Amino acid sequence: MSVAENQAAAGRGSARAVAILSSLGRFLVVAVTTYLGLLAVTFFIGRVIPIDPVLAVLGDRAPTAVVERTRREMGLDLPWIEQFYIYVKAALRGDFGTSVLTTNPVMMSDIRRVFPATIELATLGTIIGAVIGVPLGVLAAVKRGSLIDQIARVVGLIGYSVPIFWLGLLGLVLFYAKLQWIAFPARLDVVYEYTFTPITGFYLLDAAIQGQWDVFHDAWRHIVLPAALLGYLSLAYISRMTRSFMLNELAQEYIVAARAKGLSETRVIWGHALRNAAVPMVTVIALSYANLLEGSVLTETVFSWPGIGLYITNSLQNADMNAVLGGTIAIGSVFIAINLLSDLLYRLLDPRTKIG
């Protein structure tokens, strides 16, 4: 290789490195800006909501002198800009105060304990939604106007319009009270609560790792119905978007060319059209997962699922604003991370948007 070719290759490598660093820099700026915006919103909510954090800690009958001293100790007598600065510094350390309800540190104790339950529930729901929703959307697009297309559209319409708590109560009446196919609302039977020691906080995984298949079976009987309901919500969204993407791909010229070459319909649909539709589907599935994480409050309440949704609900009912804001920040942070990750995967998978 000549000196000129070496220099040209080195120049291309430097340009690509600069492009990669520039792209990573943009991602970092977006992540930091979004997170600061989330902190600003939660701080503002915590200050305008008609709940006095001092009285929530001390009670309504605390002496005035004690209330004022506690207010100064909590920094609530400072200007809002100084309070926000202190709030951001504490949040960056993962310090969201102590829960009034549990007397534990919000982030390092309570949320660390309850969040795995929500992640396990949302993950299983997303898997159910993707495994069923993607093929259903593909078939609906291929058989456009047919009975299966109409069924897919009705399934999606019901998933969008019927309240999740109503489906949950109906499911409990049918599958628990009548058929007794599932266990009562909880995460484990009482008999296993004090004999099972979780490792990661994901009970199905922990039970399988430890070979406790009786615990695995019991955990499955508790999680299957709420996960199926969340999976149905995810399925409705994923199948609808898959159908839309597939209809767009099936109308492209490369599909006509593939068919003209004599390729089988199966290869044209599943090997070409779905492969190109899968790129935007990454973002759809990621957003569905994030929505299940933040939208599982009603499901966790109906099924007494000890996740972050039920934790926030109980905290809000007891005016425990440290816990409410800490839980909101935790969910918001995960939502931001999932969105940024899906955007990065989209850029990596789509050759039209590859870095450099």
Please list the rounded mean pLDDT of every run of 10 residues in the chain (356 residues): 53 61 73 81 74 67 75 74 83 80 83 90 92 90 87 85 84 87 86 85 91 91 91 90 88 83 82 82 86 79 87 81 83 82 73 53
pLDDT of residue 217: 92
For 332, other C-beta atoms within 10 Å of its C-beta total 19
Q: Residue 31 is encoded by which pair of tokens? A: 């992540």
Q: Domain coordinates of the chain in residue numbers?
A: 22-92, 106-353
- Give this prediction's pTM: 0.80
Given a contact cutoff of 8 angstroms between Cβ atoms, the answer to whether 113 and 201 are in contact is yes
Nearest by Cα to 282 from 348, 192, 356, 183: 348
Residues 6+ apart with CB under 8 A from 232: 128, 129, 159, 167
CA distance 247 to 242: 8
pLDDT of residue 356: 45
Report the length, in residues, of the chain. Answer: 356
CA distance 113 to 101: 15
Give the CA distances from residue 22 to residues 14, 17, 18, 113, 350, in Å, rounded to whole numbers and listed in that order: 12, 8, 6, 37, 19
pLDDT of residue 146: 87
Strand partners, 98: 105
Exposure of 190 in the CB half-sphere (CA atoms within 13 A): 1
Q: Residue 211 is encoded by which pair of tokens? A: 């070979």
CATH topology of domain 106-353: MetI-like fold (1.10.3720)
CA distance 192 to 183: 13
